[in-house]
């Protein structure tokens, strides 16, 4: 059976070749304390209750992530919120996972590329990222995401990387090229929600973030599909496991057997 590779409307950064390890991570709700798109939808759009209904439809297969996510963001536009206003609100309200700066510093000192793989929009990610880690540190981090199209009348809509895919952005396409390298690296992937389902089965070590407010959609997906993963609360806890694998104290299999860190 041949799996059709979705055509990308946006460029990819070059692959990091010759690396022993590569970290790929979702942005919203994983590196940040709150999913910025959820924040917009909950506070500026259709509200949390309707958003959760749509998330459940995605999990059950009744609706694609692409179509449900477009509906969520369109509700923000329909309520009259400009894209610049949204960026400002997100910069003011979205915070960083408390352990991420230390995690990023370890990756940098250990020559481990860290790549953000997001179903969000590049301008909002960059606006919040630079605000939280600083302009220079933000420039060092590759972002593979969707984009935004702002129309002449000021209204805006998401521009999907993979518009023909039900995911809108098929995150597996950021992971799978590393599998084709002559000496593929060990791949760590970090995620939390329905936007990460396309990537879940393709990492060597999958970390799934536990949410204090109970929206553990990626964990539910992994359990339902028999995908081994490690639950983590923050990047400080995850760093200990990554260090163990990188520094040879644990194998990938032994790390996955932990189940939670």
Task: Report, as residue numbers or ranges, the catalytic residues.
Answer: 26, 28
Q: What is the DSSP letter of 182?
A: S
Measure the CA–CA gap between 219 and 242, rounded to whole angstroms. Answer: 19
Q: How far is CA 190 from the centre of its chain?
A: 7
Strand partners, 187: 22
Phi, psi of 115 (to 5 degrees): -125, 130
Alpha helices (runs of H) in the chain, residue ranges in sequence order:
36-44, 48-60, 65-78, 83-93, 100-109, 122-133, 135-139, 172-179, 217-225, 235-246, 252-256
Non-local (6+) Cβ contacts of 12 within 8 A are: 144, 174
C-alpha closest to that of 191 among 138, 101, 115, 254: 115
Q: How far apart are CA 97 and CA 243, in angstroms?
A: 18
């Amino acid at each position: 059976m041949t799996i059709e590779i979705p055509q990308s409307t946006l460029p990819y950064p070059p692959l990091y070749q010759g690396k022993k390890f590569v970290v790929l991570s979702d942005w919203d709700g994983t590196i940040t304390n709150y999913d910025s798109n959820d924040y917009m939808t909950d506070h500026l759009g259709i509200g949390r209750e309707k958003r959760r209904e749509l998330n459940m439809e995605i999990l059950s297969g009744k609706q694609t992530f692409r179509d449900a996510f477009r509906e969520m963001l369109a509700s923000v536009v329909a309520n009259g919120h400009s894209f610049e206003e949204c960026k400002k609100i997100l910069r003011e309200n979205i915070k960083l996972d408390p352990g991420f700066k230390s995690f990023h510093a370890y990756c940098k000192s250990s020559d481990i590329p860290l790549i953000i793989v997001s179903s969000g929009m590049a301008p909002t990610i960059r606006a919040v990222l630079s605000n939280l880690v600083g302009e220079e540190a933000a420039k060092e981090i590759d972002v593979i995401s969707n984009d935004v199209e702002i129309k002449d009348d000021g209204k805006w809509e998401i521009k999907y990387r993979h518009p023909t895919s039900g995911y809108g952005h098929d995150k597996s396409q950021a992971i799978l090229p590393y599998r084709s390298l002559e000496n593929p690296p060990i791949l760590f992937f970090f995620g939390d929600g329905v936007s990460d389902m396309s990537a879940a089965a393709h990492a060597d070590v999958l970390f799934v973030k536990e949410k204090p407010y109970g929206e553990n959609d990626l964990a539910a997906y992994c359990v339902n599909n028999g995908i081994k993963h490690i639950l983590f609360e923050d990047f400080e806890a995850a760093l200990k496991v990554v260090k163990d694998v990188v520094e040879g104290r644990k194998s990938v299999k032994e790390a996955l057997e932990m189940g939670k860190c």
